[in-house]
Structures are given as C-alpha cells and as structure tokens.
Structure 1
Amino acid sequence: MYFCREISEADLGALPDLAAELGYKVTIEEIKETFSCLENDETNKLFITETEDKMVIGWVHVSIYRTLITKKTAIVLGLVVSSDYRKAGIGRMLMEKAELWAQAKGCLGIRLYSNITRTEAHQFYHRLGYEETANSLLLQKCLDNKPSVLFHK
C-alpha cells in the first residue's frame, strides 16, 4: 500500500537520490534551501508518495502560472518515482494529486515538459490524457475537457 501526501521537511532527505535517477544532481542543502522558499508559497505544491514503512518513493512539484496569452494554468515542474517502484501506479497517484490541487486552485489546465529522450515517460503521460502541443514536448491536459480554455482569445 502506498500513500500520497504533502511533503514535509522530514521527507527532504530522500529527494536528491530520486532526482539522481533522472540524471539531476542536487544536494540536500540545495533541496532544503529551495523547500524553504516554496513551503509557504500558495502557487507551489509538492507531494510525495511513501510506502507503509514511510520510505519516500516518489515526488511531484506543481506550480501555478499565468502569461499574457494563457489563462490560469498549472505546470508540473518535476515528477520522479523510484525505479524500484515504477509501473505500480505511483506516478499516476502523484499526477492525480497534482491535478486535483491545480483544479482546486482554479487552474483550467495543466502542462509539463519532458525530455525528448524519455519515451517511456511520454507514453505514461499520454495514458494519463496529456497531449503533445509543441516540438519541445510541451504536454498539457485540460481539466474541464475544453482544450480551447487554456488560451485567451
């Protein structure tokens, strides 16, 4: 059984190793510094998934943004699941949590960027309903099933 919840400072120690699985080298000090800036920021939310014995096995970072040409949108800034736990529904659980939070904050859509080489990740996002919208593999999912609502007309 796995549990998904908001991140706490006690969880931060697991994040550098998880980030390293995606090729990102980040220290615990850097994580702590960034977390201190984000933990009370209403436009950012971080969730973790843990095992029954409280081992952190995945995390997602979602943020809200607006531009002059888009309506209120969320963006997934990071998602990682331990390679030992992939294909067990952890990523889906984290993405659902991020989407629900974004919807509750009034976002009309959610986007993410994915490295062009991560074809398995692209398949995962497609299964969740995300669509490719740019050559940079900007993926988005409309939360109210109306694709045109993400952009001001």
Structure 2
Amino acid sequence: MSGTIYIRHISGKDALPVTTLSLELGYSMTVNETIVNIAAIDKSICDVAYVAVLDEVVVGWIHVFYTIRLESGPFCEIGGLVVSKAVQGKGIGKQLVEKARKWAAERNINKLRVRCNVKRAGAHEFYVKSGFTENKEQKVFECIV
C-alpha cells in the first residue's frame, strides 16, 4: 500500500473492515452489530464517524461525539480510534484526529477528549504527540440494566 490516504464519512458498506479493525484491539462486535451502530451514529446529531481509506481499503476509523456534563461545559470526545497495525506510523491516526478536531470546532467546541485503556502505552504516546495532555486516570464501572 503506497497510495493516497483520504478520510470520508463512514457508511454501512464499511461494516466489515470496521469490525475487522476493531477486532485488532480486542473488541468482539459482529458485522451485523457494527451495521446497526453505524446506522445509529449516522442518524445522530451528536455523533460522527469517519474512515481512513488507503488504496481503496479502509485502514482506520474514528468515532467522535458531543457531550455535556452538569459539572463542566460541553466537549467532544473520541469514542474510538483504530488504525490497522499494518499502516501505523504513516500519519493516518493524526489525520483522523484532525478530522475530529475540525468537527468539534465546527460546533464551536474547544475541547476534545479521549479516554484510553491504561494498558495501551503506544496509544498514550500517540495522543501526547497529537497534542493531548493527560488529565486523570479513572476506573470504569458498568452494570447490566
């Protein structure tokens, strides 16, 4: 792969490569579940997702969403970012983050946040190089409802 990289909005036809890329990080979504999620994100006014395409192959994706908390102002958050291990280090993640920054700025939001698993040291380094500063560590709890 040596061609041009471009970023475009995600579509349902991207479900298989998006699912495959997600598996690289250990997420176990099915293609059908990914199709449902892409459709929901596409309908949402608070979410957007993009794919990075190299030589007509989807090699990365990013999901960004707008959120607000009672205790702080609104911000946008990267819900997920994956770049194929085969093409990491080629600036694709940086381009996806820039697209997220632009989407946030178009909504007059001046803060972009990302949460990252403490085990992903390479991702931590990437985000610092991309201009993010570490804010805090936290534990995530969930329950079945």
Tell me if the contact between 2:62 and 2:82 (Cα under 8 Å) persists in the aligned partners.
yes
Looking at structure 2, the residues matched to 35 and 8 of structure 1 have their Cα atoms a distance apart, in angstroms, of 7
Which residue of structure 2 lines up, in the alignment, with residue 115 of structure 1?
117
Deviations 1:64-91 (A, max 9, x none): 0000111110000000000000000000
Q: Does 1:31 align with 2:34?
A: yes
Q: Percent identity?
A: 29
The answer for the alignment partner of 2:47 in structure 1 is 44
Length, aligned pairs only? 136
Q: Which TM-score applies when normalising by structure 2?
A: 0.90
User: CA-atom RMSD, angstroms?
Assistant: 1.2
1:54-93 correspondence runs (5 A):
54-93=56-95
d(CA) in 1 for partners of 2:130 and 2:23? 24
**Aligned equivalent of 1:141:** none
Contact 1:72 1:106 in 2 (8 A): no
Structure 1: which 4+ aligned runs deviate by more than 6 Å?
none
Which amino acid in 1 is paired with 2:45? E
Shift of 1:136: 2.8
| 1:64 alignment partner AA | Y
Q: 1:116, 1:136 within 8 Å by CA — same for their partners in 2? A: no
What is the TM-score with the length of structure 1 in the denominator? 0.85
